[in-house]
Amino acid sequence: MTLEPRGEALPALLDSVEAWAEKAGLAPSVAGRLGLVVEELAANVVSHGAAGDGGASRLTVTLVLAAGTVRLLVEDDGRPFDPLSVPAPDLDAPLESRPVGGLGLHLARRLTRSLSYGRQEGRNRVMAELGAA
């Protein structure tokens, strides 16, 4: 699935992910986790990667089911940025002292078996794996 990295494009992306998960026969709990991870990673590109000069103009999401694992690849053509380099939030800090946001990547890390970043051919690539059962 390829789309422009705009907020109004996210509902159609999530509908496509839901349809793919149903066709792949994923359990509702797995489909729900997958949807949340896709939403968080795509929203990160929309919110941060598409802004300003050199911002992303395309966002591509690829899903593959193989050997009991869902493999997810989220790519964008924006400036180089490793979202996994952002420090984990301090969940023990009082709510009033925490910055707004910053929990999306934490959530994606918790919901996946693995999450990694690479830059290839001018594209940011975030790869994730989730158990399909």
Q: What are 29-66's pLDDT values in tens digits?
A: 999 999 999 999 999 999 888 877 888 999 999 999 99
Q: Across-strand partners of 72?
A: 63, 128
Long-range contacts of 14-23 (CB under 8 A, 24+ apart): 14/38, 14/39, 17/61, 17/63, 20/63
- pLDDT value of residue 48: 82
CA proximity to 61, closest of 16, 30, 22 = 16
What average pLDDT does the chain have?
90
- pLDDT value of residue 99: 61
The better pLDDT of the pair 26, 106 is held by 26
- pLDDT value of residue 14: 97
Kindly indicate the confidence band of residue 6, based on its pLDDT and cuts at 50, 70 and 90.
very high
- pLDDT value of residue 29: 96
Q: Count other C-beta atoms under 10 Å from residue 123's C-beta.
A: 15
- pLDDT value of residue 88: 65
pLDDT in tens, 60-86: 999 999 999 999 999 999 999 998 887
